[in-house]
Amino acid sequence: MKTICICGGGSLGHVVAGWLSSRKHAYVNILTNHPEKWSENIVIDTPEGSRLYGEISNISNNPADVIPSSDVILLCLPGFLIKKELIRIKPFISNRAFIGSVFSSTGFFFEAKEIFDEKQPLWGFQRVPFISRVNEYGKSAHLLGFKDEYKIAIENVSDEDQGIFVSIIQEWFERPVRLLKNYYEASLTNSNPLLHTSRLYTMFGGENEGKIYTRIPLFYEEWTEAASELYIKMDEEFFRLLKVLPVSEGFLPTALDYYESYDAKSLAAKLSSIQGFKGIASPVIQTHGGYLPDFESRYFTEDFPYGLKYIWQLAHENNISCPNIDLVYEWGMSKISNSTKWHN
């Protein structure tokens, strides 16, 4: 049985650890900043109402204790921690170990390719494998939902080894796994990096720069046509970029197609009516006289420097005109320039 090391102690780290160990798919190590808060036994509640009981093999805050023995490494971390964690664990990784991320669109492959040589196997999910929530930190969590199929990218290994690894992930997560053409298809998305940033700009930038809100605005339920118009323009620029990259045609739907809309008005109506988005507040902080944007929020510290950044960067490297992406990216980066969260 192979060993996996999960780096990070968020909800996904809890659920993946509990799932794999309880199903006897792999030995599980945990690399966490808070080993004292973890129990060797972890309980996962499933959507069917059953309980899974897992056992963690080794828990540590020292990479030397948990990385060398691991065949697979899975980062369950926000974008601003990925580079720092990869540098920290690099000295202890076997050149045969597969290093991956539970979610690839916050820069994992771009950072990993800078840090490791071309012989180091890399892999990542296009989307998170589970919907999850921590119940009691280090001890129990809720598995709230599965995906029907998982899409992963694998880099720096032979076709034969890709096939073997796909089989391992299928066995571990008990769902069909589709191999993407390359890491671009796992890394690039018109979801959060465009969806969130277009909304943030139209709320807090441009003509609304410095606006003080008298109450906390709802992020999706009060979505505007202006935000939709900007999102659509940014999406069109993004798809011009995809045309020059080595990706499969149609691997990603346009924003309008995904949300079954045909213009800015219908897109705004759709986004404001999605049940799962109800009640989600905009990132603001209370100040004298009302509410101002919270530039320390992960909407800013994640989606601009670890999402939109890579789209913006690739567009410029490939000489793709992207005035709307430029506008939004440069505005967002100027707002978080003093944030401590995204500086590595």
For residues 333 and 344, give the distance between their C-alpha atoms in angstroms, rounded to a whole number.
15
**What would the pLDDT profile of 206-259 be if each residue is shown by its tens digit?**
999 999 999 999 999 999 999 999 999 999 999 999 999 999 998 999 999 999
Statement to judge: residues 44 and 107 lie in one domain: yes
Statement to judge: residues 211 and 125 lie in one domain: no
Statement to judge: residues 114 and 205 lie in one domain: no
Supply the pLDDT for residue 344. 45
CB atoms within 10 A of CB 174: 10
Supply the pLDDT for residue 231. 98
pTM score: 0.90
- From 202, 215, 336, select the one nearest 286 (Cα to Cα): 215
Statement to judge: residues 178 and 206 lie in one domain: no
Statement to judge: residues 166 and 79 lie in one domain: yes
For residues 210 and 71, give the distance between their C-alpha atoms in angstroms, rounded to a whole number.
50
Supply the pLDDT for residue 339. 60
Kindly state whether residue 343 falls inside one of the protein's structural domains. no
Supply the pLDDT for residue 146. 84
Statement to judge: residues 30 and 151 lie in one domain: yes
- From 47, 51, 65, select the one nearest 18 (Cα to Cα): 51
**What would the pLDDT profile of 47-86 be if each residue is shown by its tens digit?**
898 999 999 999 999 999 999 999 999 999 999 999 999 9
Supply the pLDDT for residue 340. 52
Tell me which residue range forms the domain holding 134: 3-186
User: Which residues of the chain have a pLDDT value below 70?
Assistant: 338-344
Statement to judge: residues 49 and 134 lie in one domain: yes
Supply the pLDDT for residue 18. 96
What is the DSSP secondary structure assignment for residue 39, as one 8-state letter? -
- CATH number, domain containing residue 62: 3.40.50.720
- CATH number, domain containing residue 205: 1.10.1040.10
